[in-house]
Each structure stands twice: as structure tokens, then as C-alpha cells.
Amino acid sequence: MLNHSIQNRHRALAATAVFSATLALLLGACGTPVVETGSGAVAGVPGAGGAVAAGVALAQTGKSPTPGTAASTRPAATQSAGSSASPVTKATKAATPTAGPTLRIGIKYEQPGVGFMADAGPTGLDVDVAAYVAWKLGYSPYDVDWVEVGSKNREKLLTTGVVDMVVASYSITPERRKDIDFAGPYLVAGQDILVRTDETRIKGVSDLRGKIICVVPGATSTDRILKLVGSKVRKIEEPQYADCVRHIINGEADALSTDDVILAGLAATNEFFGRVRLLGLQLAEEQYGIGLPPGSPGRCNLVNQALISMVEDGSWQRFIDRHTSATGYSPATYNNPPKPQPCD
């Protein structure tokens, strides 16, 4: 049973107002309706901005202290362990797509631009994609719980039923397909290398030999870069990429290699902006998919249909632009947006 964080009553009331406005817009328009939230962020269905994600308006959630703990979008008055009731009015619920039980979505909390738990709630490309899919599956905003996942525990949280899906820069690989199902992909990222802005010695993979690289265990990009560099490298392990960037800035590590969209998001944060840079390499391709529990072909097909709609109605491009326009990053056009693969 997940431990739900109880929200401040005033925040809950503010969130309810945003939800009501957003749902009303959804009912009355077929395009990309938007509503200004109290904080100035734009919420919409689909296509929300700021810390309020697309597809569903997200409440103030509060950060979960450990992976596997949920941050619910339900107002405080309705949150309780195991509760799946939606506080949406009967009239609204009847007119929206069928609201169902809680949908527990695993996201990263420490990847700016991709999956990040900000003070105002979860934000990032993965959050927008996940929220859009939830909306297309018919879930009420109040029926989405956001659960922090890490690179090492995503399969476990899916196979043990802690989460219903994972949207967390989750690369589709044959090894992972043995344990879980994947929908998508929804993005093809490339692997790059991040260094300090004033670093002149490192221009490619071969220059990493003899250097110190920071890695995050459990990521496919970590395994790949270690194989490419070989044994002539020292490594520092951290659970979060942001910690690796801090090591680089402090001179404790020389480089970090992972997906370009993740690196670009980190480089664009206030903390790191102007202090690190990407080399602009394309070491490999990573197909980001939506992880599902094993034996989920029905839901996989529905998620794939939602991803196709996301591209066709322009939401995919809006999500990409929103979270990468300030970074100088843009996905390769020859393989993006990708077509979802058939479900097993």
C-alpha cells in the first residue's frame, strides 16, 4: 500500500479550482484549451505548461522522500491509502472520459526538463507525456498518483504492482522486455557527453581514458559508456545525474555521459547554466518507452493509440518545444517522432 502525502488545505482548494477550469475547457473545446493558474503557469488539456502538466491539471504535490512513494493529485480531503474515489462533480465526471481507479505513474523526480518534482508539482517532458496518456485513457486528474522511481528499481516497481506505468526516460531494451511490457517509443534520444564549460581536453570518447567519469548505476547509457571507454577510466557512482554534474563543476569528475535530452535539461537549470556544456556527440540511440507490468497487451495498445494521437494533434511537438527550447537541444528529425512498436 502506498503512503500518500497529505496536502495543505489551501493548496487543495486552489488545485480544485484549476482542475474545474481545466475540465470545463476540455468539455467545451477540441483543440488545446488553456487556463492561467494562480502561479502564472499555463494549464491545458492537452498541452499544459509550467509545473502543471499537459492532459491533466496537476495539484501541488510535495516531494516524496524515497523512490516508490506516491505524490497524489487528490485534494487533502479525499486522500487516503487505497482510496480511488474522484472528487470531481457528478456532472463533470459523467461528461468526461470514464474516470476509473487510481493510475499510479512512475516518473523521475531529479531530471530537470524530463521528470522533475518542482515546488509547484511534477514537470518535464515525461510528465507531459504521461499526463496526456492518462487523459486519453480516461482518468480524472484526481485519479493520478505520481510515484518517484529510480533507474535501478523501475522493473521491480512494475512487476510488484507498486506502479501501473513508468514514464521515466525509460529505454526500451531486449533485456527489459523479458521482465515487463513496453508501449511506444515516444522519443528517440541520443547519448552525449557533458563536461565543464572550460574543458578543452575532452572532445570524444577516447579522451575519457584516464579521466574520472560520474555514472548512475542501472542506466543503459552507463553500461554503454563504460564498455566504450574500457577499463582505463575511473568512475564515481551517484543515484542522480544532478549530483554527477556537481562533481564535474567541483572538479571531482571530468565528464558525465547519458541521453542528450537529460543532459540538456540539466545544463539549462539555474544551478548549472553556463558552467557545463554538451559535446554534441551521437554515441547511440535510446528509444524512450512507457513501461507496463508484464502481460499488458490491452493497455499497451491503448497507450500506443494515445501516443499516436499525441503526435497527430500537435501535442508532441509542443511538449518538446516547451522543455527544450531554452537548452539548444532538439531531437533528431530523421527518427522523431517515432512510431510506436507493436505490442507483444
pLDDT of residue 69: 54
Question: Number of structural domains, the chain?
Answer: 2
Cell of 98: 470514464
Model-level pTM? 0.73
Q: What is the pLDDT of residues 27-39, one digit of tens each?
A: 333 343 332 223 3
The answer to whether residues 211 and 234 touch, using CB atoms and an 8 Å cutoff, is: yes
> What CATH number is attached to the domain comprising 182?
3.40.190.10
pLDDT of residue 328: 81
Same domain membership, residue 150 and residue 72: yes
The answer to whether residues 216 and 223 touch, using CB atoms and an 8 Å cutoff, is: no
Q: What is the pLDDT of residues 203-240, one digit of tens each?
A: 999 999 999 999 999 888 999 999 999 888 899 999 99
Same domain membership, residue 214 and residue 121: no
pLDDT of residue 17: 33
Same domain membership, residue 26 and residue 135: yes
CB atoms within 10 A of CB 197: 12
CB atoms within 10 A of CB 251: 9
Q: List, in order, residues 6 or more apart from 251 with CB less than 8 Å away.
A: none
What whole-number distance in Å separates Cα of residue 50 and Cα of residue 124? Answer: 8
Q: List, in order, residues 6 or more apart from 93 with CB less than 8 Å away.
A: 86, 99, 140
Q: Is residue 272 part of a domain?
A: yes
Cell of 47: 498541452
Q: Is residue 311 part of a domain?
A: yes
CB atoms within 10 A of CB 184: 25
What whole-number distance in Å separates Cα of residue 260 and Cα of residue 279? Answer: 10
* Angle between helical axes of 297-312 and 125-136 (0-180°, round to 10): 110
Find the domain containing 236 and state its range: 190-285
Cell of 145: 498518483
What whole-number distance in Å separates Cα of residue 194 and Cα of residue 199? Answer: 10
Same domain membership, residue 235 and residue 268: yes
Q: Is residue 130 part of a domain?
A: yes
Class of residue 115 by CB neighbours under 10 A (exposed 0-12, middle 13-18, buried 19+): buried
Q: Is residue 341 part of a domain?
A: no
Q: Is residue 331 part of a domain?
A: no
What whole-number distance in Å separates Cα of residue 18 and Cα of residue 88? Answer: 12
pLDDT of residue 89: 21
Render each residue's pLDDT in the chain as its tens digit; 344 residues.
333 332 333 333 333 333 333 333 333 333 433 322 233 333 333 444 433 333 333 332 333 334 465 665 443 322 222 222 222 222 223 334 444 589 999 999 999 999 999 999 999 999 999 999 999 999 987 899 999 999 889 999 999 999 999 999 999 999 999 999 999 999 999 999 999 999 999 999 999 999 999 999 988 899 999 999 988 889 999 999 999 999 999 999 999 999 999 999 999 999 999 999 999 999 999 999 999 999 999 999 999 999 999 999 999 999 999 998 878 888 999 999 999 999 97
Q: How many CA atoms lie within 13 A of 305 on its CB side?
A: 11
